[in-house]
Amino acid sequence: MASDYTVGDLVAEFLAACGVTTVFGIASVHNIPMLDGIGRRNSIRFMMARGELGGAHMADGYARVNGGLGVFFSSTGPGAANTIGGLIEARFSGSPVLHITGMTMTKFADRDMGSVHDPIDQLGMMRSVCKSAYRIRSADQAMGVLTRAASDAMSAPRGPVSIEIPIDIQRVKIARPPMLDHFVLPVTPGRLPTDLEMDELAARVKAAKRPMLWIGSGARAASAEIHKLLDMGFTVVNSINGKGTVPEDHPQSLGGMHGNGMPGVQEFYATCDLMLAVGTRVRARETGDMAVKLPSNIVHIDCDPMANGRTYPDAYFVCGDSQLTLGALLPRISGQMAIDPAYKGDFAALKQRVVPEFLATLGVYGSFARQLRAVLPKDAVWTRDVTQNNTTWGDRVFPVYSPSSSVFPVGAGIGQGLALGIGAAAAAMAEGRKTIVMTGDGGFFLNVGELWTAVQENLDMVVMVMNDRGYGVIKRIQDATAQGRRYFADLQGPEIEKLAALSDIPYFKCSSADTFGSTVAKALEVKGLSMVEVDMISVGEFPAYYPFNQRA
């Protein structure tokens, strides 16, 4: 008896075998067999994005909160091209996103014959932005290619991977692979450095009297090991993408106060005799294009050998998995550190001084982090777009307590926050957690159509629009680089209250700084989707912030 099981069915069952319970995307002529396989099984939730760009960001946000694969389906050609911005952001953030797209029939592929959605070198386009990209060229190899692609995405350093599956191959009938019954995705294990490398690393760490950690997203799995280093007397600062690996209310953490535009922090760095950088690129964004003066003795641990000296020169580099490497380091240094007795007090004095100094530069917005943290559930997911508020208090001083509670555009692209938040909320709801998205009006209206994805999926999230009627960040750059000529940065858009009313979304408005927290608290009480508009014209103009508040 002939099998009715197709490659499209295999795709659906493969994703379920990988533990995927939610995917995102748009139905298209070139992916219907795969989506039909998902729909008939009814074991995976398919969330309908309004655009491929939004779907890609949703899969990214979902992966960051869930910790597993973020999956989205797109159409071919123009549809696949529309995903590029989302895939680039997933590459920036190191998110394990699996993009599955169709392809024109095999006999027409790569021949420029004018088929529907006929792409020109679609695979090359995907390879240019993804960690890797594959085409399934026969039904027999479908299981192997799917496995390789998902393994690539989940193996460190994680990142987006794209798969093309021609429409005729999706329809091919095959025997169901028996390995699906007990399938385990073969993820490449992290590297444990050799004993010689570990001995040298330990010797360098033990010599330090005032050691500090700089941790990034690659250190998320090493939270327990990092806490043991803090117990030994280390202090820590995290990259923006490393927020929450150490709860940012820890007394020995600077959180996101990484020193860019903060002379006091840089002066403290000068007193440290070791910067142990773990799972981080020590990115230009956090260091003002490497203008921040870090300790000269940087010892770097990263799974990617290309991280060695990529930004700051490393005194010593160890290529290894952060958790495995720190786990091997701890017994080699336990009881052998000779920390400066004054170090802990010096660090506490630094925090007591620089945090209020920074908040004082934000004018009426200086209390917003405190007000929001007071009303937001501790386990809520803090998602945001590129805004003046996020670039200042959102990234630097708003405390995050776990790495799965922080989602933001690592590549600093505007307009990505709403879709990232939708994906984050889809993952967070499964754990009973709330999600809040902070976006500016400029970024919000860039992808406003995705608001109705949140409506349709009945997501439990607050969308908070910081409305200054324009591109506030761009205006600051124009002030600094174009002698204050603010061209093309003012936006006209619909009234947000009326926009919310279109879909009966509960709406709340904040018009003064002292009511910010109480207004958000009302929105948080809503079970489901709600919106908050912060009228920045009424609250007050956002003050110039670093580097735009520096005198020439």
Domain ranges in the chain with CATH number 3.40.50.970: 7-173, 361-539
- pLDDT at res. 101: 96
* C-alpha–C-alpha distance, residues 257 and 264, integer Å: 10
Q: Is 520 helix (H, G, I), strand (E, B) or coil?
A: helix
Q: Which residue has the tokens 């899969």?
A: 59
* C-alpha–C-alpha distance, residues 304 and 193, integer Å: 13
Tokens representing residue 128 in the block: 């240019």
Instruction: Confirm if 294 and 287 have CB atoms less than 8 A apart.
Output: yes
User: Confidence band (pLDDT; 50, 70, 90) for 127?
Assistant: very high
pLDDT at 312 over 50: yes
Domain ranges in the chain with CATH number 3.40.50.1220: 195-353
Percent of the chain with pLDDT over 70: 99
- Cα distances from 296 to residues 199, 273, 276, 299, 490, in angstroms, run 21, 8, 11, 9, 44
User: Confidence band (pLDDT; 50, 70, 90) for 480?
Assistant: confident
* C-alpha–C-alpha distance, residues 98 and 19, integer Å: 13
Q: How many CA atoms lie within 13 A of 462 on its CB side?
A: 28
Strand partners, 299: 276, 316
* C-alpha–C-alpha distance, residues 143 and 524, integer Å: 44
Mean pLDDT over all residues of the chain? 95
Beta-strand relationship, 507-510 and 530-535: parallel
pLDDT at 507 over 50: yes
- pLDDT at res. 548: 82
pLDDT at 112 over 80: no
Q: Which CATH architecture has domain 361-539?
A: 3-Layer(aba) Sandwich (3.40)
Span 114-127, average pLDDT: 84
How far, rounded to the nearest angstrom, does the alpha carbon of residue 11 sit from its chain's CA centroid? 26
Of 142, 362, 424, 406, the C-alpha closest to 248 is 406
pLDDT at 22 over 60: yes
Span 380-404, average pLDDT: 96
Of 180, 184, 18, 183, the C-alpha closest to 96 is 18
Among 52-56, 262-266, 282-286, 493-497, the range scoring the smallest mean pLDDT is 282-286
Greatest extent of the chain over all pairs of C-alpha atoms, in Å: 81
Q: Which CATH architecture has domain 195-353?
A: 3-Layer(aba) Sandwich (3.40)
Span 392-411, average pLDDT: 96
Span 50-77, average pLDDT: 97
Of 124, 139, 94, the C-alpha closest to 239 is 94
211 phi/psi in degrees, rounded to 5: -90, 140
User: Confidence band (pLDDT; 50, 70, 90) for 1?
Assistant: very low
Q: How many CA atoms lie within 13 A of 146 on its CB side?
A: 29
Span 324-341, average pLDDT: 98
Give 153-185 pLDDT, tens digit per residue: 999 999 999 999 999 999 999 999 999 999 999
- Cα distances from 51 to residues 83, 281, 383, 440, in angstroms, run 9, 31, 20, 20
Indicate the length of the chain as a whole number.
552
pLDDT at 552 over 60: no
pLDDT at 461 over 60: yes
Fold held by 7-173? Rossmann fold (3.40.50)
pLDDT at 544 over 70: yes
* C-alpha–C-alpha distance, residues 204 and 226, integer Å: 17
